[in-house]
């Protein structure tokens, strides 16, 4: 099993320490697990400049694609991945937000449907759970099948030592994540991710190459024309009905809210 670890903190501090404990725990369950580490602080990705080329003509045209594409490739090649991000001002650190800004187009054109993820955060006192929740929301938008969360109150500047209670929680979450990845079982998506998926699927017709404001969405969604969610992901009947309803709403709304851009 190959697990990609995206260290989305500006230094190797408390969150990194916690992540190492998770890795050790996973290795206890299966010594063959391989961890491939990315340290965002070593890559120095320039800030997302908001050019929107990823949305309009495709992410390959991002001026920073030389940094972004290798990360996307590593996600694709992994069995699943971990995102590790400290809690700064109740939110993810800028270095993490910069990565997810560069990948914001993924909510328009989701993928990674067979991947599972684990979001890890530490905080001094409060809001580690806000950080892991916000990462989980972002990842569901990317298409990730399930995201586990490990938020921890470290009560420390850079000297985190897990308590007995933390060690138990680390073991429990690491085990759940490992077992789920190992099982290769795909879970039915929550209602949340079905909304953007089916809205974009419906709205793509107004952005095909023959339209006034073509975008990459108009090309991408052809593969999902008759599908309420990605292939191989279980969709019970009530979710299919809901997804089709969202699709119909999207079809109705789309012509009234065409997104323009300067040519």
Interaction of residue 78 with ligand FMN, rule CB under 6 A: no
Question: Order of strands across the sheet with 146-153?
Answer: 34-39, 2-7, 80-84, 116-123, 146-153
Residue closer to ligand FMN, measured from CB, 88 or 200: 88
Nearest distance in Å: CB 129, ligand FMN: 11
- What's the CA gap between 12 and 4, in Å, rounded? 17
Residues 6+ positions from 83 with CB-CB distance below 8 Å: 6, 8, 96, 117, 118, 119, 120, 135, 139
Select from 124, 162, 196, 214 the one that contacts ligand FMN (CB under 6 A).
124
Interaction of residue 81 with ligand FMN, rule CB under 6 A: no
Contact indicator for 201, 249 with CB cutoff of 8 Å: no
Interaction of residue 158 with ligand FMN, rule CB under 6 A: yes
Select from 49, 51, 126, 167 the one that contacts ligand FMN (CB under 6 A).
126
**Which of the residues 185 through 224 are near ligand FMN (CB under 6 A)?**
none
Interaction of residue 7 with ligand FMN, rule CB under 6 A: no
Contact indicator for 150, 169 with CB cutoff of 8 Å: yes
Interaction of residue 98 with ligand FMN, rule CB under 6 A: no
Select from 125, 209, 232, 236 the one that contacts ligand FMN (CB under 6 A).
125
Q: Which two tokens stand for residue 68?
A: 């972004």
For 176, the enclosing helix (H) or strand (E) is helix 164-183
- What's the CA gap between 223 and 208, in Å, rounded? 13
Size of the site for ligand FMN (CB under 6 A): 19
Query: How many C-beta atoms surround the C-beta of residue 47 within 10 A?
Result: 11
Nearest distance in Å: CB 193, ligand FMN: 28
Select from 7, 15, 134, 145 the one that contacts ligand FMN (CB under 6 A).
15
Interaction of residue 163 with ligand FMN, rule CB under 6 A: no
Interaction of residue 31 with ligand FMN, rule CB under 6 A: no
Select from 78, 122, 145, 215 the one that contacts ligand FMN (CB under 6 A).
122
- What's the CA gap between 110 and 143, in Å, rounded? 5
Q: Which two tokens stand for residue 117?
A: 């993820």
Q: What angle do CA 53, 54, 57 make, to 5 degrees?
A: 65
Select from 31, 44, 89, 184 the one that contacts ligand FMN (CB under 6 A).
89
Interaction of residue 9 with ligand FMN, rule CB under 6 A: yes
Q: Which stretch binds ligand FMN (CB under 6 A): 46-54, 60-68, 80-88, 236-244?
A: 80-88
Contact indicator for 16, 69 with CB cutoff of 8 Å: no
Quickly list DSSP for 46-114.
PPP----HHHHT-GGG-TTHHHHHHHHHHHHHSSEEEEE---BTTB--HHHHHHHHHTGGGGTS---TT
Interaction of residue 123 with ligand FMN, rule CB under 6 A: yes
Interaction of residue 127 with ligand FMN, rule CB under 6 A: yes
Q: Which stretch binds ligand FMN (CB under 6 A): 39-47, 48-56, 151-159, 253-261?
A: 151-159
Residues that bind ligand FMN (CB under 6 A): 9, 13-16, 86-90, 122-127, 154, 157-158
């Amino acid at each position: 099993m190959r697990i990609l670890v995206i260290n989305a903190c500006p230094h190797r501090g408390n969150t990194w320490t916690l992540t190492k404990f998770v890795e050790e725990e996973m290795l206890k369950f299966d010594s063959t697990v391989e961890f491939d580490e990315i340290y965002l602080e070593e890559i120095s990705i320039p800030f997302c400049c908001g050019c929107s080329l990823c949305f309009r003509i495709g992410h390959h045209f991002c001026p920073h694609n030389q940094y972004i594409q290798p990360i996307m490739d590593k996600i694709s090649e992994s069995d699943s991945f971990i995102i590790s991000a400290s809690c700064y001002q109740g939110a993810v650190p800028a270095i993490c937000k910069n990565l997810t800004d560069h990948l914001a187009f993924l909510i328009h054109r989701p993928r990674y449907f067979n991947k599972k993820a684990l979001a890890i955060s530490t905080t001094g006192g409060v809001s580690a759970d806000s950080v892991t929740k916000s990462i989980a929301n972002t990842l569901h938008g990317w298409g990730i099948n399930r995201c586990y969360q490990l938020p921890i109150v470290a009560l420390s500047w850079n000297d985190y030592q897990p308590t007995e209670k933390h060690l138990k929680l680390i073991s429990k979450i690491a085990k759940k994540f490992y077992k789920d990845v190992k099982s290769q079982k795909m879970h039915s998506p929550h209602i949340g991710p079905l909304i953007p998926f089916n809205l974009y699927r419906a709205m793509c017709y107004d952005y095909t190459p023959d339209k006034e404001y073509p975008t990459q969405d108009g090309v991408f969604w052809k593969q999902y024309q008759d599908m309420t969610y990605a292939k191989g992901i279980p969709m019970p009947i009530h979710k299919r009905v809901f997804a089709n309803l969202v699709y119909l709403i999207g079809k109705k709304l789309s012509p009234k809210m065409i997104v323009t851009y300067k040519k």
